[in-house]
Structures are given as C-alpha cells and as structure tokens.
Amino acid sequence: MFLTCCPNVYSMVLKTQINFIDNEILLSLNLQPPFKAFLKKDFLHIYQDDEPKFSLPISFPNLIHWVYNKSLVGFKINNTTYLTDQAYKLKELLNGRLFFSRIQDFYTPLQILGQGSSAKVLLVKSKLGDQYFAAKCVEKNELMYQEIEINNQLDHPAFVKIKEVFQGETSYYIVMDLLSGKNLQQLIKNQHGGLTLEQSSKIMHALLSGIEYMHSKSIIHRDIKPENIVLQKTNNLTTLKLVDFGLATYCNLKKFKYPKCGTPGYVAPEIANLTDKDTTYGPACDIFSAGSVFFKLLTGRDLFPGTGFNFVLQLNKKCHIDFSPLTLKKIPLNSILRELVQKMLSKDPKLRPTAQECLNHDFFTLTEKPSNAHKKMFFAQTRSATLTVDFSSPEEKPDYKGSFVTNDIVPQLPQMPKMVMKFNTTEFEQYD
C-alpha cells in the first residue's frame, strides 16, 4: 500500500534491487516504446521511459503469458502486453524456472503414454520442429512447486531435465525429454532368473551414482523401484534415468508433509513402521530401496514375495529377508556381492552404507577394473505392477493419491504420422 501511494519510493527500491542485488544482465530486450526490459539471474525488470516499472521474480508460482500470433511475438505480465522480436530467446532462458501459459501454442498432443490416479503422461510434438517430448499432466497443488524445484536442482545424467512447465486452468504440464527405452520392471520380466551380473553391475553403478548426487543436494526420492528406473535409449543400460519425484522431499526438513509413503516391497522399514508423524529419517531410506532393486536384478525375485498390498506391506515391515536366492545362484564373487546387498538391506538404517560407500565397495571396484583372469571368471555367468500409494491411514492424508509411473507404454517414433491422425489440437483442453 505504501509503495503504491509513493511511486518515487517504489522506483528507488527497484533501482537499488536492480543495481546492487541482481546486477548481471543475461538479456537486454527492446520492447515497443516506451518500454524496455532486462533479464537478470533472478528477476525480469521492466522499464518505462528509462525508469523501473516493476520486477518479476523468476520463480514458481509466477506466470508469464506468451503472446502468440502464428509465431511468438511477445509476452504479457499484469495485463500489459510487451512486444519483442527476442521472445524466443527470452523463453529459452526462462525454461523450467516459472510457469508458462498456453501449451497448445507450442506443442501438439499425440497420445497418452500412461496414466495414474492423479496424473497423465502425454506424447507431444513440438510445433517448432520434429522433436517429440513427454508432457506430464498433473492436478494443480502446491506440492508440485517442490517437485519441479527438486527436478531443476538435479543436473546429472541419471535424471530427466525439465524443459518447460505450463499452467492450464486446472492442471500443470511438465514437458520433459522422451524416454524411449523400457523400465527395469519390463526388462526383468523378460529375464528368467534375473539379469546377468554384468548388466546388474552397470545398472546399479549408474543408479547409485545418481543417488549419491541426489543425496549431496539433501534430496531423498522415497520411491525407488524398477518401474521408476527407465532407459532413455532402448537396450542401452548406461542411459538409465530415475524418474517420478512426486514423493521426493528434502531430508533436512524438521518435519515431512507426508512422512509415510512409498511402495510396499521397496520402501524402507523405518518408513513402513512409522507411527509418529513428526519423526524424520534420512538418505538411508533410498539405499534400502536401491538394495531391493539390486536383489531383484540379480535374482528375478521380489525381496518380499507375495500378492496383495497389505500382505507385502506386512512382510516389508517385519523385514525378515531370505538371502538364499543369492547363494543358490552360484554368482562369481558371491561372498563380496552378498555382503554389499545385505548391508544395503539392513533393517537398521544406521547400518546401511551411503551411496558413495556402496560405489567404493569391492564389488564395484573389482567389476570396474578386473584383471584379465578375474574378468574371464566374473562374466562367465549365463542368464539363468506394484501399486504406489501413501499407505498412511485415510485420516492421516485423505487427499493424496500416490505417485505416478511416468513410462508405461512408449510408442516407436517411426509410427508417429499414424498417431497424429488419431488426435486433434484441442486435446490439451480436454485434460483441463
């Protein structure tokens, strides 16, 4: 109110912020007179007659409306339209940092790749070229800000980078790179008795490298499982991505908003047995989940075998693990491997190694740089739908619908022209 009544003071505050707080210019924009703009690290500053008019913080949940007339010609903020021939460059620099308007101006929806209780994933095609992407359509809620923020912090090959985030009437659309490979659950189904030791080693090394990086940012995933580990390229194990950060959170918070969540069969027992909602836990919960994935890769079996949500959850809570499938498989370096898996699956989180300690374990150091004789023995081995929900009581969290598997069915790209015929350009509005 004070700044509105005292424009001179407001202008002085803006000048101070522009000149001293946010002083690195990323882009200078020539707008229609009497306006001009400067994009800096954290703000978009708008000037009128060489005086600062206002500054838009570059962060969620702020929104920029794009002005589109056969091509991108400008933007609109606070009901004021600004025209510029640098609109595409501005959009590129703002990608993934705040909400955009009207996804239908930039992408054509082609097909639903998968859907869950609170989200859909669409195959979309850019209107600026022949590139295809995945667009995750989710209901509007404040938790999405944290999921997007977390994704933006993970600049590592094991994670999918968010390209853009659009806001619709009732939904958000998160545009990401399209993953054309299978998820690990699909790969394991085709391999009776699990994957080879070489394959398992490559997958787990890549996964643990991503987890180590994620934990260095004080982020925990809380839903690591085969369905959430997807290959970016078919049959290329080095391109795996850990996806779906719907349950991810910062582990240094004093209290988690939803402390009891995950997938029975993969969730850490300290979470499955949680009774005090004010209790927190740390990165070790992801190590247990990764250990469960490791066990399944090697054996082809579930860590807690059984059918039915509640039955598997009860086994998960007790955490009485049968390691005999590892022994029966006669794996080279069995004792070293079994030691690592058992440590990762310790019921006591304090006994589990960190992701970095896992990577430094003899199993990986020997498989990464084996001697010729050792290598010959080591790789002589031959190849011998879990529901994710918050499993708190309905009273604890009645509105949460669980996480969403982002890659159930991925079509082959050469068939795209056939799919285009099945969908119209108003498909986005049908999801709002």
Please identify every stretch of the chain with a pLDDT value under 70, giving residue numbers as ranges.
1-23, 116-117, 142-143, 330-333, 367-432
Residue with tokens 């069995």: 334
- Buried/exposed 97-108: b ≥16 CB within 10 Å, e otherwise: bbbbbebbbbbb
CA separation (Å) from 184 to 143, 253, 373? 27, 31, 30
pTM of the model: 0.79
pLDDT of residue 156: 95
pLDDT of residue 7: 55
Output the CATH code of domain 184-378: 1.10.510.10
Task: Answer yes or no: are the C-beta atoms of 388 and 198 closer than 8 Å.
Answer: no
**3-state DSSP percent of the chain in helix, strand and coil, to 5:** 35, 20, 40
**DSSP 8-state assignment for residue 161:** P
pLDDT of residue 24: 83
Residues 6+ apart with CB under 8 A from 73: 67, 83, 84, 85, 87
Instruction: Provide the token pair at 230.
Output: 């997807």
- The full 3-state SS of 95-130, as one line of letters, equals CCCCEEECHHHCEEEEEEEEECCCEEEEEEEECCCC
Instruction: Provide the token pair at 183.
Output: 């998820």
Helix (H, G, I), strand (E, B) or coil at 315: helix
Residues 6+ apart with CB under 8 A from 333: 363, 366, 367, 378
Going by the annotation, the residues of the binding site are 136
378 — phi, psi (to 5°)? -65, -40
Long-range (24+ apart) CB contacts under 8 A made by 61-65 are 61/98, 61/99, 61/145, 62/98, 62/99, 63/98, 63/99, 63/100, 63/101, 63/167, 64/94, 64/98, 64/99, 64/100, 64/101, 65/101, 65/102
pLDDT of residue 324: 87
Residues 6+ apart with CB under 8 A from 336: 361, 362, 363, 366
**CB neighbours (10 Å) of residue 383?**
13
pLDDT of residue 6: 56
Going by the annotation, the residues of the binding site for ATP are 136
Annotated domain spans of the chain = 20-82, 104-179+412-431, 184-378
Residue count (the chain) = 432
Output the CATH code of domain 104-179+412-431: 3.30.200.20
The order of strands in the sheet holding 99-101 is 80-83, 72-77, 63-68, 99-101, 162-167, 171-177, 132-139, 119-126, 107-115
pLDDT of residue 369: 53
CA 245, 251, 253, 256: dihedral to nearest 10 degrees? 60
325 — phi, psi (to 5°)? -60, -30
Task: Answer yes or no: are the C-beta atoms of 311 and 302 closer than 8 Å.
Answer: no
